[in-house]
Structure 1
Amino acid sequence: MTRVFCIGELLIDFVAENQGSNLSKATNFTKKAGGAPANVACAIAKLGGKSSFIGCVGKDAFGSFLLDVLKNEGVDISMAQRSKTFTTLAFVSIAEDGERDFVFDRGADEELKYDPSIKSEFKKNILHFGAATALLGGSLEKAYGHYLFDGLCNESFIAFDPNYRSDLWTDDEATFIKKCLPFVEKSHLCKFSLEEALLLSGKENVEEACAFLHDIGADIITVTLGKDGTFVSTNNIKHTVPSIVVSPVDTTGAGDAFIGCLLFQIAALSNFETIFNDSATLLKMVEKANKAGAITTTKFGAIVALPDLNQLEEA
């Protein structure tokens, strides 16, 4: 099976459980492991795939906790780095419908240094760029660009999820869009929320947004629509794949579970070209990925809620 390299942040989610969506009123928080690329790496490993995490945490108790979580889930952490800067934190409040309110306290994740010695590992493997913080500057952003180039030079399958967080880009959405588009241009697979697809394209509906993003360069586009499923767009198909009905308690990590499950299935293919040429196979993969995302919303926290293969098959 092909290996998936997930590049970006690993952080502590302090979750205010069952206290509404307003962080200003939250008083009790529970420590959880999080960070979109780390969630994706764990989603793949829990399903039985091969994943590696490339990111930076602090040389502190939180950093040790996070790396232990990934290691225990079966993720390769040999390429992870550690910094004297404190581990990145996120404070998350959950509303009754499972939606979230975020505040970030950024730390060590931005200090990931580019390591040219690992680029040979990318040969004909999968690189997933899905960090919420990667385009905010620091050496992480520089490493992100270098690794994209390395992946392209090594015939890697490139996946991109911008993971837009409005509080990280207040009054600067134009910069976010400008920095995302080169990744859209070079990606074989892009995963967006509806908000992200409309923001990056400047269009008013999902079909027009996908047409614009295809023109930029994206080959396959998936737009997650929450309980309504996922819109899949390629040169050959435009189709909404329904999800399963669940009672959500926390939507944190649902998108990461979706793309993780989709990449797990792509990694199992003998030839990446299959999903470009076989629409039926792609739609079946998205259907299974929708289940993974839905299951993840039924528990608090991201990594602890990710399904294994048995849970996925039973759904």
Structure 2
Amino acid sequence: MKKVYCIGELLIDFIAENQGNDLSKADVFTKKAGGAPANVACAIAKLGGLSKFIGCVGPGQFGSFLLGVLEDNHVDISLAQRSKTFTTIAFVSIAEDGERDFVFSRGADKKLKYDSSIKNSFQDNIIHFGSATALLGGDLEAAYGRYFFDALTQNSFISFDPNFRADLWKEEEAIFVKKCMPFIQKAHLCKFSLEEAQLIAGKTNLEECCDVLHEIGTKTIVITLGGDGTLLSTENTKHKIPSIPVTPVDTTGAGDAFIGCLLYQISLLHDPMQILEDIDLLKGMVKEANKAGALTTTNFGAIPSLPNLEQLQAIK
């Protein structure tokens, strides 16, 4: 089994209770652990995979709480760092259909320092670049880029999820797109939401989006479409993989559950590059990942809602 290294933010999600999707009306919040790379690491570990988290949290009880959540979910936190800066916080509101609105207060996540000693452990393993905040500058962006170079030189299987958050890139979407390009060019697997695919490709038609993204360089694309399933695209073929019917209450972490489940399955392969040649294998993996994403929407909070292997296998 390959190890999966997940690089980026671990933060506190303060989820607004019982007021829909308007944060201005919220006065009661529930504290949850969050951050896309941390969610992915937990998704992999809860299914029985080997995940390691690389990121930075702040001092005090919030930082300890977050690292404790990862440990409780069997994620290796030996590469996590702590900063004197306060732990990053996201305020999240949830509409009746489970869709979310975010406001970020950035802190320690941007303080991640590059650790050159990690490079050799990337050899022949899987590296997931799925941070929502990693392209915003600071130490984190510098470390992110250097780890990306390390992954390229260590024969790693590279996964990229841009995790676009509109609140973080107001009127600077073009900069976000530009910063995504090197990752899309070199990644073996790219996961996009519908909004991300259209933003980065500059197209509205999904097949045209895929063609543009393949031209940039990525070999395998998955575009998650919520209840409509996932569009799987390679350079030679495109397939719509259906999801399972659920009644969503909170879509937070659904995409992370999806890519986490997909990477878990890839980590079981002797050679992860096999998915680039075996489309039927990949279609089956995406079908399972769709289940993981759907199940995660049926409860509140990303990490507590991530399915374990028994729950996943119970869905036929």
Match of 1:304 in 2: 304
Give the C-alpha shift of residue 203 in structure 1: 1.0
Match of 2:213 in 1: 213
**2: CA distance between counterparts of 1:132 and 1:161?**
9
Aligned ranges for residues 105-116 of structure 1 at < 5 Å? 105-116=105-116
Structure 2 unaligned regions, length at least 5: none
C-alpha separation between the residues in 1 aligned to 2:18 and 2:2? Answer: 39
CA distance in 2, matches of 1:287, 1:204: 24
Aligned partner of 1:125 in structure 2 is 125
- Please provide the CA RMSD for this pair: 0.6
Q: CA deviation at 1:204?
A: 1.6
Counterparts of 2:118 and 2:272 in 1: how far apart (Å)? 22
Q: What is the aligned-residue identity percentage?
A: 69
Aligned residues: 315
Taking the aligned partners of 1:175 and 1:138, their CA distance within structure 2 comes to 15
Q: State the TM-score, normalized to the length of structure 1.
A: 0.99
Contact 2:157 2:273 in 1 (8 A): no
Q: Distance in 1 between matches of 2:131 and 2:273?
A: 26
How far apart, CA to CA, are the structure 2 residues paired with 1:234 and 1:299?
Answer: 33
Asked if 2 retains the 8 angstrom alpha-carbon contact of 1:122 and 1:154, the reply is yes
Q: Contact 1:130–1:161 (CA<8 Å) still a contact in 2?
A: yes
Asked if structure 1 preserves the Cα contact closer than 8 Å seen for 2:189 and 2:218, the reply is: yes
Alignment of 1:268-307 (within 5 A): 268-307=268-307
Q: What do the CA deviations read for 1:34-83 (whole angstroms, capped 9, x no partner)?
A: 00000000000000000000000001210000000001100000000000
Runs of 4+ in 1 over 6 A off after TM superposition: none
Equivalents in 1 of 2:163, 2:271: separation in Å?
28
Equivalent residues in 2 for 1:193-212 (5 A)?
193-212=193-212
**Pairwise CA distance, 1:270:** 1.0
Instruction: Calculate the TM-score normalised by the size of structure 2.
Output: 0.99
Task: Name the residue aligned to 1:92.
Answer: 92
**Counterpart AA for 2:281:** T
- Tell me how far 1:166 sits from its aligned partner: 0.4
Counterpart of 1:148? 148
Q: Is the 8 A contact 1:18 1:95 kept in 2?
A: no
SS in 2 for 1:144: helix
Q: 1:42-57 maps to which residues of 2 (within 5 A)?
A: 42-57=42-57
Q: What's the offset of the Cα at 1:18? A: 2.7
Structure 2 CA distance for aligned equivalents of residues 149 and 43 of structure 1 = 25
* Aligned match of 1:8: 8
